[in-house]
């Protein structure tokens, strides 16, 4: 299960992406996860939607993963942000959020900061997967073609 979470995270962070979280503890938890391309992490509690959009445009970010908590309040934030960002022309990674929700739900994670309980395991797995995806998979692809 954690391997699936790692795989989704690596796909999301394989290119420039913004991760929107509710608060400071969520941001800290996400920052601890190794990634291929460092995501732009923005707290939604601190900024109005218009300011978030300006930040994203200034940073040149087109893809956004909304990681609000997986509770009622988080679902409302997610829907509002998703609609707002789509109207502004951003690509919202809904499928990835839904996959993560399913996996986190199985691990009894409802709040993003709870990822910290598993971060030590994820940190052990991700560096290998990052290395493999960056170097090994390319050389295997080159040998096949």
- pLDDT, tens only, 61-113: 999 999 999 999 999 999 999 999 999 999 999 999 999 999 999 989 999 99
**Predicted pLDDT of residue 34:** 79
For the whole model, what pTM was predicted? Answer: 0.83
Domains of the chain: 2-137 (3.40.1360.10)
97 vs 66: CA distance, rounded Å: 7
**Predicted pLDDT of residue 90:** 97
Of the segments 20-24, 114-118, 137-141, which one has the largest average pLDDT value?
20-24
The answer for residues whose C-beta is within 8 angstroms of residue 137's C-beta and 6 or more apart is none
């Amino acid at each position: 299960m954690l391997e699936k979470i790692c795989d989704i995270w690596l796909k999301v962070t394989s290119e420039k992406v913004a991760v929107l979280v509710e608060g400071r503890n969520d941001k800290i938890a996400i920052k601890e996860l190794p990634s291929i391309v460092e995501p732009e992490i923005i707290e939604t509690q601190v900024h109005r939607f218009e300011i978030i959009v300006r930040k994203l445009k200034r940073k040149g970010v087109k893809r956004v993963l909304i990681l609000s908590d997986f509770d009622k309040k988080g679902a409302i934030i997610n829907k509002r942000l998703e609609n707002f960002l789509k109207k502004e022309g951003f690509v919202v990674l809904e499928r990835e959020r839904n996959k993560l929700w399913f996996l986190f739900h199985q691990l009894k994670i409802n709040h993003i900061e709870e990822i910290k309980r598993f971060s030590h395991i994820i940190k052990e797995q991700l560096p290998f997967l990052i290395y493999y995806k960056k170097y090994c998979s390319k050389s295997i692809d080159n040998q096949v073609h």
